[in-house]
Structure 1
Amino acid sequence: MGMGKKILTKIWTHPVTEYLKGQWFFYCLAIFIVIARFAPNFAADGGLIKAQYSIGYGAVACIFLESGLSMKTARLMANMGNWRAHLTILMISFLITSSIVFGFCCAVKAANDSNIDDWVLVGLILTATCPTTVASNVIMTANAGGNDLLCICEVFLGNLLGAFITPALVQMYLRGDSFSFANPASGQGIGALYGRVMKQVGLSVFLPLFVGQIIQNVLPKPTNIVIGFLKKYHLKIGSYMLLLIMFSSFSTAFKQDAFTSVSSLCIIFVCFFNFGIYLFFTGICFLVARPFFIIKLFPVEPSKGESSLLYYYSYKLFRPFYYNKRDTICIMFCGAAKTAALGVSLVTSQYGDDKSHLGKLLVPLVLYQSEQVIAAGFFVPFFKKWCRDEQEDNNIRKDIEMGLSDHEVEEDPKLDSGRQKSESN
Structure 2
Amino acid sequence: MIWLDRLKKNWFLIGIVVVIVLARLNPPLGIKGGPLKPEITVKYLAVSFIFFNSGLSLKTEELMSALMQVKLHVFIQCFTLMFVPCVVWLLVQMLTLTPIDPWLLKGLLVVSCMPPPVSSAVILTKAVGGNEGAAIFNSAFGSFLGIIVTPLLLLLLLGVSSAVPVSSIFLQLSITVVAPLFIGQFVRRFIKDWLERTKPPFGQVGSGMLLLIIYTTFCETFSSTSLDLDRFHLLCVVCVVLILQLGLILLTFLLSRIERLGYSPADTVCIMFCATHKSLTLGIPMLKIIYHGFDHLSHISIPLLIYHPTQILLGGFLVPLIRQWMTNAQNSNISDIL
| Same fold per superposition (TM over 0.5) | yes
Deviations 1:80-126 (CA, angstroms, capped at 9, x unpaired): 12110011001111111111112211222244x1xx22221121111
Query: Which residue number corresponds to residue 125 of structure 1?
Result: 109
TM-score (norm 2): 0.92
- Partners of 1:253 and 1:359 within 8 A in 2: no
Distance 2:305 2:22 in 1: 16
Aligned pair 1:344/2:331, yes or no?
A: no
- In the alignment, is residue 241 of structure 1 matched against residue 225 of structure 2? no
Structure (1 or 2) with the greater helix fraction? 2
Relative to structure 1, the CA distance from residue 26 to residue 388 in structure 2 (aligned partners, 3 Å threshold; closer, same or farther) is closer
Percent of aligned positions that are identical: 29
Could you report, residue by residue, the CA deviation over 1:204-233 in whole angstroms, capped at 9, with x for unpaired residues? 1111101000001133234446x62326xx
- Structure 2: distance between partners of 1:284 and 1:147: 19
Tell me what 2:304 maps to.
Answer: 365
CA distance in 2, matches of 1:357, 1:376: 30
Q: How far apart are the structure 1 equivalents of 2:40 and 2:97?
A: 41
- Counterpart in the other structure of 1:7: none
Alpha carbons of structure 1 residues 357 and 44: separation in structure 2 relative to 1, 3 Å: farther
Q: Give 1:37 shift.
A: 3.6
Name the structure 2 match of 1:228.
Answer: 199
Deviations 1:295-329 (A, max 9, x none): 4xxxxxxxxxxxxxxxxxxxxxxx4x231111011
Q: Write the distance in 1 (CA, Å) between the matches of 2:20 and 2:238.
A: 15
Cα deviation, 1:326-352, whole Å, max 9, x if unaligned, reads 101111111111111222122212112
Is 1:13 paired with 2:2? yes
153-162 vs 47-56, greater mean Cα deviation: 47-56
* Larger Rg computed on CA atoms: 1
State the shift of 1:290 in Å.
2.4
Looking at structure 2, the residues matched to 250 and 367 of structure 1 have their Cα atoms a distance apart, in angstroms, of: 9
How far 1:361 sits from its partner (Å)? 2.3
Distance (whole Å) between structure 2 residues aligned to residue 71 and residue 326 of structure 1: 14
Amino acid at match of 1:272: C
Q: What is the CA–CA distance in structure 2 between the aligned matches of 1:355 and 1:50, rounded to whole Å?
A: 27
Whole-angstrom CA distance in 1 between matches of 2:30 and 2:324 = 37
Equivalenced residue count is 338
In the alignment, the residues of structure 1 paired with residue 65 and residue 289 of structure 2 have an alpha-carbon distance, to the nearest angstrom, of 35
Alignment of 1:266-305 (within 5 A): 266-291=233-258, 295=259
- Cα 1:48–1:356 change in 2 (3 A) is farther
* 1:200 is the counterpart of 2:200: no
CA contact (8 A) 2:29 2:219 kept: yes
Write the distance in 1 (CA, Å) between the matches of 2:262 and 2:217: 36
Give how far 1:360 is off.
2.1
Give the counterpart letter for 1:203 in structure 2: I
In 1, Cα distance between equivalents of 2:257 and 2:79: 14
Query: Structure 2: how far apart are the matches of 1:388 and 1:37?
Result: 36
**1:241 alignment partner AA:** M
Map 1:142-221 to 2 at 5 A.
142-175=126-159, 183=160, 186-187=161-162, 190-192=163-165, 194-221=166-193
* Alignment root-mean-square deviation, CA: 2.2
The answer as to whether partners of 1:340 and 1:369 remain within 8 angstroms in 2 is yes
What is the alpha-carbon distance in structure 1 between the residues aligned to residue 168 and residue 240 of structure 2? 30
- Once the two structures are TM-superposed, the CA of residue 38 in structure 1 deviates from its matched residue by 4.6
Q: Which runs of 4+ in 1 moved over 6 A?
A: none
Specify whether residues 38 and 394 from structure 1 end up closer, same or farther in structure 2 by C-alpha distance, changes over 3 A only. closer
SS in 1 for 2:209: helix
1:257 CA displacement: 1.3
Judge conservation of contact 1:249–1:341 (CA < 8 Å) in 2.
no
Amino acid at match of 1:361: I
Q: Is the 8 A contact 1:344 1:362 kept in 2?
A: yes
- Report the equivalent of 1:414: none
TM-fit CA distance, 1:45:
2.3
* Whole-Å separation in 1 of the counterparts to 2:306 and 2:222: 12
